[in-house]
Amino acid sequence: MTDKHDLLPMFKTVAARVDKRSFDDVTRASVITDLGVDSLSMMQIVGEMETELSIQIPDEDLVEIVTVGDLCSRVERRLV
Amino acid sequence: MAHPTTNLEERLYRTYMEFFEKAERERRWSVFDDIPWDKVNPDAPEDLALCAETFASVEMYLPDYVAGGINVVRDWFGRAWWQANWGYEESKHSLALGEYLVRSGKRTRTQMIELYRTLSEKRWETPFTTARQMTLYGVVQEQATFVIYCKHRDYAKREGDECLFSIYDYIARDEIAHTRFYQAVSEALLEEDRAGTLADLAFVFANFKMPGVDLVPDYDERILKMRSEGSVDRDLFIRKIYLPVLKFLNIGRHEMLSAQRAALEARPQR
């Protein structure tokens, strides 16, 4: 199982792939909109992480994601 | 432009006739008879008027919307007629908002004519080139417009302007009806070519912008004001536009990933 500490690197990798730029400086506290990630890219990042981990975050949880940590937490919940 | 198949054309014609019948029987309203003009709040803040003026400005590009839209679907009988009816309904939106600005005393008739002159110096170009892409753009744009008008309807109510509340209410009703029509057409397009339609939907989402961008004077400043009173931020876009559009069209989020990836990769570097 992917533990808590693997999800941030995973986010950075997927985000870099989707948005074609580096996300190396991102932390769990980073606000996703501050990273310049728009709505569609955000949906793509979430979707690709879900696919890689074979999980699905409920749609109603998606709108509550503000920081990278929020996203990681919701992924972690589905992995437990 | 490829001509639609007979079956598809017949289906879209029926879809339009159902839309038109419902509009005629249940949704028609008059700028002159149905709006409570005596309930304008002349003391409402300038920001309320500025937002109404911005909506009116975007609606004033109607000649370009009609010309661009109708030429893309000219060969599709039901859809071409839909565009004509759509133009009639949208024309009432700009007229009602313009009348509101004048009757509330927030703008003079001369100022409105000057605004129209300024606006007409620029021209709206269709953001997408095919009938299918323009239909999908219609789904997203009308849904977004509906959401924004609903938020501003609430804003007008908070400011005690029953007249503007009523105008936004009528407009929002029209916009959601337009959304439903575009969605019905999109369902038919998905049945005919699901992969191609998904690719076009992803392309539209990836390159979507509201029609007033780059056209309306001081648009960025206006949007800042409107955002504080209810524009579409990321949360709202996902919750009220992206997810509802997919749900209505019976498209799973994961089904979009492949097409969405391609559309994002093709998007110019920002």
Q: Tally Cβ neighbours within 10 Å of residue B120.
A: 12
Residues of B with CB under 8 A from a CB of A: 205-206, 234-235, 237-239, 242-243, 253-254, 256-257, 260-261, 264-265, 269-270
* ipTM computed for the complex: 0.89
pLDDT of residue A64: 86
CATH 1.10.1200.10 is right for the domain spanning A4-79? yes
| Whole-number pLDDT of residue B79 | 85
A25 is catalytic: no
**Taking CB atoms and an 8 Å limit, are B234 and A39 in contact across chains?**
yes
The pLDDT value given to residue A1: 47
Contacts of B143 (CB under 8 A, 6+ apart): B179, B240, B241, B244, B245
Helix, strand or coil, per DSSP, at residue B24: helix
B49 or B210: which leads in pLDDT: B49
Q: Residue A20 and residue B265: Cβ atoms within 8 Å?
A: yes
Asked if pLDDT for residue B192 goes beyond 80, the answer is: yes
User: What mean pLDDT is predicted for residues A2-29?
Assistant: 88
Please indicate whether, in this complex, the C-beta atoms of A33 and B269 are within 8 angstroms of each other. Answer: no
What the block records as the tokens of B244 is: 């509802």
Tens-digit pLDDT profile for residues B30-56? 999 999 999 999 999 999 999 999 999
The answer for A 11-40 residues in CB contact with B (under 8 A) is: 18-20, 33, 36, 38-40
Cβ-defined contact of A40 to B264 (cutoff 8 Å): yes
- Among the residue ranges B58-62, B161-165, B234-238, B263-267, the one predicted with the least confidence is B234-238
pLDDT at position B270 over 70: no
Domains of chain B: 6-266 (1.10.620.20)
Please name the residue of chain B whose CA is at the shortest distance from the CA of residue A40.
B206
Could you read off the pLDDT of B110-152 as tens digits, one per residue? 999 999 999 999 999 889 999 899 999 999 999 999 999 999 9
Question: What's the token pair of residue B87?
Answer: 């133009």
> Which are the contacts of A58, defined by CB distance < 8 A and separation ≥ 6?
none
What pairs with residue B36 in β-bridges? Answer: none
Catalytic residue among A3, A6, A19, A38: A38
Task: Let me know: does A18 contact B264? Beta carbons within 8 Å.
Answer: yes
Each domain of chain A, given as residue ranges in start order, spans 4-79
Chain B contact set for A40 (CB, 8 A): 205-206, 242, 260, 264
Interchain contact, A59 vs B243, CB within 8 Å? yes
Contact A51 B261 (CB under 8 A): no
- Per-residue pLDDT at B162: 98
Q: What is the rounded CA–CA span in Å between residue A32 and residue A70?
A: 10
Mutation to test the A interface, candidates B198, B234, B261, B267, most A Cβ within 10 Å: B234
Percentage, residues of chain B above pLDDT 90: 74
CB contact under 8 A, A33 and B264: no
CA distance A6 to chain B (A): 22
The pTM score is: 0.91
Task: Indicate if the pLDDT at residue B191 is higher than 90.
Answer: yes
Higher pLDDT, B268 or A70: A70
Looking at residue B223, its pLDDT comes to 77
Q: DSSP per residue over chain A, as a string?
A: ---HHHHHHHHHHHHHHHHTS--TT--TT-BGGGGT--HHHHHHHHHHHHHHHT----HHHHTT--BHHHHHHHHHHHH-
Within 10 angstroms of residue A58's Cβ, the number of other Cβ atoms is 9
Q: What angle do CA B109, B115, B117 make, to 5 degrees?
A: 105
What is the tens place of the pLDDT at every residue in B4-19? 678 888 999 999 999 9
User: Long-range contacts: A75-80, Cβ < 8 Å, 24+?
Assistant: A75/A7, A75/A49, A75/A50, A76/A4, A76/A7, A78/A53, A79/A1, A79/A2, A79/A53, A79/A55
Gap from B238 CA to chain A (nearest CA, Å): 7
Query: Using 50, 70 and 90 to split pLDDT, how confident is the model at A80?
Result: confident
Tokens linked to B139: 């789904």
